[in-house]
Amino acid sequence: MKNIFLYCLVLALQISFIIFPQAVSDTGSEKRLEQHVSVLAADSLEGRGLGTAGKEIAKQYIADKFRSFGLEPYNSGNYFQKFDLRVSLVRIPITNVVGVLRGSDPALQNEYIVIGAHYDHLGYTYKNETNALPGIAADNDITGSGTEKIIYHGADDNASGVSVLIELAGYFSVNRHLLKRSIIFAAFDAEETGIWGSKKFIDNCKFSVNSIKAMFSFDMLGMYTANKGLVLKGMGSLDGGRQLAIKLSSVSGITLTDVSADIEARTDTWPFGEKGIPAIHAFTGEYSPYHKPEDTYEKLDYVGMAKIKDYLQTLISGISSLPELLPSATFAARKSPYALQFDFGTKIGLGSSNNEFPNDYFAAKSIFSYNAGFYIQMQLGRRFAFQPAVLFISDGSKSPEGIFRRYSATVPVNFHYNVVNEIGGLVKVFSIAGGYYQYSFGGKNGGAAIDFDSKYNKEEFGLNFGLGFEVMGIQAEYMWQRSLTKLQRAAGVEIYPAKWFFTFGYKLF
């Protein structure tokens, strides 16, 4: 039985992986990515901190690349979206670098996907600034001459993301036919001081918020191998995005470790998510020297970065061509407490049933049983779901009189509690508790029709308990059911139906 069940699961997984176009690999991007990072994370750029000349050089480097690719400038004549950041009475000038690539579909090119990556970093400090405590600073020259400048290079955070953004802009500028919607490439300023660049971008954007259908933030893409995968946090916020990302990852050979619908505060995806725009943070992970002076150019995994760039290229091209870009129900439900997430699917169960004689020496034997039908699932917050179903069921038992088999309609009504909640949006493990109603309309008892008119109960109520897991819309459950209603009508005849099933559910929409 277990084998049939596993076979069904494997078969369904295979069917769900429909064939997608091969990932386009772009030779030479590895060298170019390395080149961009070597410039952006160089000592001479002083860690690209607020107010440093180094950040100005980075800004100009990105704008020059945008110009060489022929991106449409954000302003007439230049790529700079400028604003002032006010810190008490001080005004600090901030600049996002923004360029646009028009989509090739006349009907969809007025819809936009933003691809962002912050180009600022922490800047630099002096050795005696951090440990200038009495008695400890003896090694340092506190007078200022000869103090050691400590640069926070920010290679992974986030020269890596900016480099992938530059390469994607270059790639799509000569492959515009792969984009149906338009892409806004935005290198954000002032992320490290409080995601100011992305906030100001969306608050003052010359394109309407409603025309921006999705957003990506590339922030730290340089440590793929060390982290054993790529995080696409927020991928589940785009309707159909999670499925597309997973399908394409198998084509590109990319390991995804998180495709949840979560959009985190303190990331450049947040200001977009707050406005209801599906937003995805592409990130190789915390195993990184980020926010340390050791976050340097030579530590990054350029083979991994090139692989990620090829994958994101295919994914963004795929998303730009979807007929509709909408927030997922999960994301919409989190935005509004009144929006409920509904799933509808089909399920089939294979198992065994018996009729128990708890007060009798007599024992019947169990028989093969099955059920099949449809379910609706309502998500009630993060952990609870409510799942009623309507199933056809065949159950019974085997006694010396022969096989007793009923045919019925049943309505199991269950609550699911997520014991393990969305491991990166990929897997859920849940416990099941609820009840059922069953109405029998026919059957055989040792060859003769079951006498439902005088001897056997037509209606039955009972309890359900079980455990299940869900992977990509496919649910697998083990459920045990015990009747509280007696099988026979006669007083004193204590027989209670019981059954268990391995159930396999497939979400249709």
Q: Which residues bind Zn ion (CB under 5 A)?
A: 157-158, 219
Shortest Cβ distance from residue 292 to Zn ion (Å)?
A: 13
For Zn ion, the closer of residues 301 and 343 by Cβ is 301
Shortest Cβ distance from residue 30 to Zn ion (Å)?
A: 22
Shortest Cβ distance from residue 113 to Zn ion (Å)?
A: 20
Q: Cα separation of 461 and 497, whole Å?
A: 10
For Zn ion, the closer of residues 305 and 450 by Cβ is 305
For Zn ion, the closer of residues 219 and 343 by Cβ is 219
Side chain identity, residue 50: L
Shortest Cβ distance from residue 291 to Zn ion (Å)?
A: 9
For Zn ion, the closer of residues 219 and 477 by Cβ is 219
Q: Cα separation of 82 and 85, whole Å?
A: 10
Q: Cα separation of 312 and 245, whole Å?
A: 9
| Structure token pair of residue 14 | 């295979």
Residue pair 389/373 in contact (Cβ under 8 Å)? The answer is yes
For Zn ion, the closer of residues 219 and 470 by Cβ is 219
Residue pair 470/430 in contact (Cβ under 8 Å)? The answer is yes
Quick one: angle between helices 241-252 and 302-320, nearest 10?
A: 140
Shortest Cβ distance from residue 226 to Zn ion (Å)?
A: 17
For Zn ion, the closer of residues 265 and 448 by Cβ is 265
The total of other beta-carbon atoms located within 10 Å of residue 459's CB is 11
> Sign of the CA dihedral 102, 107, 110, 116?
negative
Shortest Cβ distance from residue 342 to Zn ion (Å)?
A: 37
Q: Which residues contact 280 (CB under 8 A, 6 or more apart)?
A: 214, 215, 216, 217, 232, 233, 234, 235, 237, 238, 241, 269
131-145 residues labelled b (16+ CB within 10 A) or e (exposed) = eeeeeeeeebeeeee
For Zn ion, the closer of residues 270 and 375 by Cβ is 270
Shortest Cβ distance from residue 191 to Zn ion (Å)?
A: 6
